[in-house]
Amino acid sequence: MPVLNEAAYLERAVRTVLAQAVDGPSELVLALGPSTDGTTEIARRLATSDRRILLVDNPGADIPKGLNLAIRASRNPTIVRVDAHSELSDGYVRSALATLARTRAANVGGVMRADGHTPFQRAVARAYNSPIGLGGGAYHGGAQAGEAESAYLGVMRRDVLEEVGLFDETVRRGEDWELNLRIRSAGYRVWFDPALSVTYWPRESWTRLAQQFRATGAWRGELVRRYGRRNSLRFFAPPALVVSIAAAIVVGALQLTRVLGGRASAIASVVYLPLLAYLVLLGTVAAGRGGGRGWRDRLWTLAVLPTMHLAWGVGFLQGLVAGAHGTVDTSRLGSRNTPLP
């Protein structure tokens, strides 16, 4: 578990991991980044109270580096990736190990079930759980078990991880997808099992959400630079939306200044159609079933979805053109998370 500024979430996340019943020894390795909110002190207290918890330092705070440090410090033949913003369901590890053995896969993952406590966080969770929000990856609500492109978190065979070289430490976001690409390229299976579920708590503020998605989009653009069309077409939808908006702004300006007129203006107005369709889609999603617990949840949905799409799309185009380089997810820095009830 890579950890940075997770004082509000860490203890509950650790509790759900340690509560997992498995046949044989288990351990939980926390890769601690330089937190500023008391997370490190919480981790040390937890490690003192349970000998299964091992702490390793991750001074750079990069997730793939932290994961590799934790894997190298661990001793057992199966690696279960967990997250400080997540909570494992009862029986998760036992079921995943059974699926791993039954399917002879190298990596098994389940469903990310996002949830929230505030209207904003619930709106983000709804977007995560919707194919409209994050593009319909299997782990965002798939119901059919089978081979998959990637896996959320993941229960992995250590021998395969070592064979393919662990996580790529030059990839700061999208490291799971990149690892699973190498696993599949090496001839192994990545398997999705909808019976497995993990509760995920999204970012708690609009600013942090935008920061998170811009960084994620930038690294997806970088991955497209590296791996081209091995990236799913769904990753290209947010940048297409950004380009459509830019085109509509240009056409609108030319029409207002009468540079475009007559038939040319009518033809150019076609650029507005995708945006009108997108606005109708937003309204339908916000007003549809499962819209939340009240009108505030629905209004936040109208703000959250375009924030996710546009931040991701802008980041993608930046990463595609110039590379992600030193882009980091600043939403993880200086956390001011509200403690969970």
Across the chain, which has 341 residues, the per-10-residue mean pLDDT values are: 95 96 94 96 97 96 95 96 94 96 96 91 89 68 84 95 96 95 97 94 93 96 93 91 96 94 93 95 80 76 94 97 89 57 43
Q: Where are the beta strands (DSSP E) in the chain?
A: 2-3, 28-32, 53-57, 78-80, 86-88, 107-114, 146-147, 152-157, 190-200
What separation in angstroms does the CA of 109 have from each of 29, 117, 232, 240?
Answer: 19, 25, 18, 29
pLDDT at 326: 81
Q: What is the number of other CB atoms lying within 10 angstroms of the CB of residue 92?
A: 23
Whole-angstrom Cα Rg for the chain: 21
The CATH number that domain 2-204 falls under is 3.90.550.10
d(CA 127, CA 318): 23
Spell out the domain ranges in the chain: 2-204, 227-330
Contact (CB, 8 A) for 85 and 201: yes
Threshold 0.85, pTM exceeds = yes
pLDDT at 332: 75
pLDDT at 88: 95
Give the dihedral of Cα atoms 64, 67, 69, 71; nearest 10 deg.
-140
